[in-house]
């Protein structure tokens, strides 16, 4: 069974940066693509970034390109989401989610395992 635990959220000011971490454990997880989703208040949950099992390909939502970087370190069973130049509209709960395949897809149902989420609040 795969377990995902997010950390790194908190209260930040516009223009700040932060890194969210996902500790991914369980049999085979290093062979699974991982995605980061976000859900802003009153909005649906959307994929913001994803990465292949070996890190050979990544996805960043078009609206976030230039401000987000996703990476993984399979030796440490960790996946990271780095956000630069935070804006108030980045305020959301961010979820780490795992597939059971090498590659990712951009829809929620493709992801079988979910963390509990970490809150990011961007406010001056």
Helix (H) or strand (E) holding 53: none
CA distance 50 to 54: 12
CB 79 within 8 A of CB 4: no
CA distance 79 to 36: 9
Among residues 98, 89, 110, which one has the least CA distance to residue 31? 98
CA distance 90 to 113: 23
Span 34-85, pLDDT tens digits:
999 999 999 999 999 999 999 999 999 999 999 999 999 999 999 999 999 9
Q: What is the pLDDT, as a whole number, of residue 59?
A: 96
């Amino acid at each position: 069974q795969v377990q995902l635990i997010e950390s790194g959220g908190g209260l930040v000011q516009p223009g700040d940066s932060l890194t969210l971490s996902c500790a991914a454990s369980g049999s085979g997880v290093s062979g699974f693509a991982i995605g980061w989703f976000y859900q802003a208040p009153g909005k649906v949950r959307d994929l913001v970034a994803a990465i292949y099992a070996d890190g050979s390909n990544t996805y960043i939502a078009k609206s976030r390109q230039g401000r987000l970087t996703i990476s993984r370190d399979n030796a440490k069973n960790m996946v990271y989401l780095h956000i630069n130049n935070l804006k108030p509209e980045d305020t959301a709960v961010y979820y780490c989610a795992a597939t059971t395949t090498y590659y990712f897809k951009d829809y929620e149902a493709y992801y079988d395992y979910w963390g509990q989420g970490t809150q990011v609040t961007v406010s001056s």
